[in-house]
Amino acid sequence: MLILDTCAIIFDSLDPGRLSKKAATSISQADDSGTLSCCDISLWEIAMLVSKKRLDPGTDSQNFIKLVFAARNIAVLPITPEIAARSAQPGFCPHGDPADRIIAASALLHKAKLVTSDNKLATVAGVQVVW
């Protein structure tokens, strides 16, 4: 399984040139094999970015997210009790952002690789980052 961080979803959809070669290749392979996923909180993050006008996908957030899913075979992973508990543990993740903590915990507990350009997520023990 390969989990896309929110930034990876956005880059892949709107500006693929911002992805590293390794990230782009991994995304294509996971898409082809049906093992591409994202965390449910990434959908909320995208909607918030569009709402705050920090992201302009050329359409509203709901339509943009639907277009992302039409373009890629992405499974949405829910927050489970285990993910919630792990993400809240002190010292688990150097990130103060709750969404990034949930994404890191999801990657760890699903034993999945995480596509992200976020250097803080790369320091979480046990999380395998692709970039």
Parallel, antiparallel, or unpaired for β 2-4 and 128-130?
Answer: unpaired
Domain boundaries, given as residue ranges, for the chain: 2-130
- In whole numbers, what is the pLDDT of the chain averaged over residues? 96
**CA dihedral sign of residues 11, 16, 20, 23:** positive
DSSP secondary structure, 14-50, as one string: H-GGGS-HHHHHHHHHHHHHT-EEEEHHHHHHHHHHH
Phi-psi region of 103 (alpha: psi -120 to 50; beta: other; left: phi over 0): alpha
Instruction: Write the pLDDT tens digit of every residue in 93-129.
Output: 887 899 999 999 999 999 999 999 999 999 999 999 9
Under-50 pLDDT residues of the chain: none
Nearest CA to 36 out of 46, 45, 25 is that of 25
2-130: CATH architecture: 3-Layer(aba) Sandwich (3.40)
pLDDT of 53: 97
pLDDT of 117: 96
pLDDT of 93: 86
